[in-house]
Amino acid sequence: MRSSRLAAFFTSLSFFVIAALVAGVVVGAMAQGADAPWLTGGLGVVESLGQVWLNALRMTVIPLVFSLLVTGIVSIANAAATGRIAARSLMVFGVLLVGATIYAILAGLGLLALWPIDPEAGRALLAGTPADSVAVVGEAARTDGLRAFLSSLAPANVVKAAADDGVLAVVVFAVAFGFAATRIKTELRRPLAGFFEAVAETMVVIVHWVLLAAPFGVFALALGVGLRAGLGVAGTLAHYVAIVCLSQIGLILITYVVAVVWGRISLARFARAVAPAQVVAVSTQSSLASLPVMIERARDWLGVPQTSAGLILPLAVAVFRITSPVANLAVCLYVAQLNGIDLSLGVLIAGGLTAIAVSIASVGLPGQVSFFAAIGPICLAMGLPLGVLPLLLAVEVIPDIFRTVGNVTADLAATRIVQGRAAKLIDFEHSKTS
């Protein structure tokens, strides 16, 4: 089993992207000391191709986010209409998402203040990113944020806002459109939802096509980094992984506290309940694959009836990703400090709201697709450049493990909270021996 998983990893896109990152930096570093004029021209061509690849990803962001938000809101509204437990579950999910987003901003800023990016190493990492992506930083990040933030919520022309990468305005319009769609007749709503579902699926296919060239795109960007900065970028990437992982570890620890306080359960019992599901999450990096174990542990250790666990947990897997705003905002805050951008309160609020929206919209997307579909809109809403994201994607394998563990832990905590006083804890070990 272990060998088959290793074989699957070494043949996966993630492995080839990591290999492309390493190869690009190493080849660039080796060529750094060579006195060869042709390298400059060759580097320009390679970087141009890397920019084309990055633009191909960016062109899908607006239609993908809009269509995913509309279909996500319609599906959530349909789920809420199925019964009281479903509606209560969605309410708990929403509260936890908002709390996680507030934590994400505070934790991200705090970690980067205590352990900031080395300026020289940061410049080295940015050395190979497309020049215009570093220069074109939204003015919203530098302005007095709150006033600009409020005025950007309702643009006079949403099409122009989309063309100008005004993601927050598009998100607000998509949310309003989605809720409005839930109020029209069923016979009209179904084809409308089907249309946007088809648009979303089509955009995902395009992103898949673009990501097939991800090893080349990452190699092209990493080559520029290695040629201009050498091997020093490895430390910055390791620092990035540590910051994102620490943010998520903090969230997981807080989730235990939330389960104990609002779920009315002892810390030891909850920890023992979630441990097997966390093991499956680490080994599979899939909340869906962890679902059978989660249902069993919720029933046998959290006192949740089979019928309730069978409703709440699949709903959580379908619409609830608590680590999404935490990890995604950690990435965006890292990008901001990497580029030397001070973010105003309004920009942080814009990023937080966008993070909540895309965490709902991007549920169910494959890892590499969701990385760009979720983080890209948040960066654009905060006025941050996207050029460094492909390099960060290459080391996403480790943070992704903590994403899944955090999601599984929060799913079980939310299930216990939703069940509330109705949950009946049993002494499972005693029942086995009696």
Please state the domain extents for the chain: 39-433
- Tell me the CATH architecture of domain 39-433: Orthogonal Bundle (1.10)
CA atoms within 13 A on the CB side of 278: 16
Residue of 234, 217, 232, 230 lying closest to 27 (CA atoms):
230
Q: Which residue has the tokens 């940061």?
A: 122
Residue of 394, 55, 72, 325 lying closest to 207 (CA atoms):
55
Average of pLDDT values for 76-101?
85
User: What percent of the chain clears pLDDT 90, i.e. is strictly above it?
Assistant: 28
Average of pLDDT values for 28-44?
64
* Average per-residue pLDDT for the chain: 81
**Residue 258, CA distances (Å) to 18, 270, 290, 315, 359 in order:** 36, 11, 21, 20, 20
pLDDT (tens digit per residue) in 148-200: 566 666 777 778 777 776 777 788 888 888 889 988 888 888 899 899 989 98
Q: In a 10 Å sphere around its CB, with 0-12 CB exposed, 13-18 middle and 19+ buried, how is residue 85 labelled? A: middle
Give CA–CA dist 376/170, Å, rounded: 13
Residue 65 tokens read as: 């986010």
Q: Which of 138-147, 179-188, 235-244, 417-426 has the lowest mean pLDDT?
A: 138-147
Report pTM.
Answer: 0.82
Q: 233, 125 in Cβ contact below 8 A? A: yes
Answer left, alpha or beta for residue 83, where phi above 0 means left and psi between -120 and 50 means alpha. left
Q: Which of 129-143, 332-346, 376-390 has the lowest mean pLDDT?
A: 129-143
pLDDT band for 412, please (50, 70, 90 cuts).
very high
Highest mean pLDDT among 6-20, 112-126, 330-344, 382-396: 330-344
Residue of 332, 119, 121, 135 lying closest to 225 (CA atoms):
121
Residue 211 pLDDT exceeds 90: no
Residue 135 pLDDT exceeds 50: no
Give CA–CA dist 55/133, Å, rounded: 10
Give CA–CA dist 231/292, Å, rounded: 44
pLDDT (tens digit per residue) in 270-319: 999 999 999 998 877 788 888 889 999 998 899 888 888 888 998 888 88
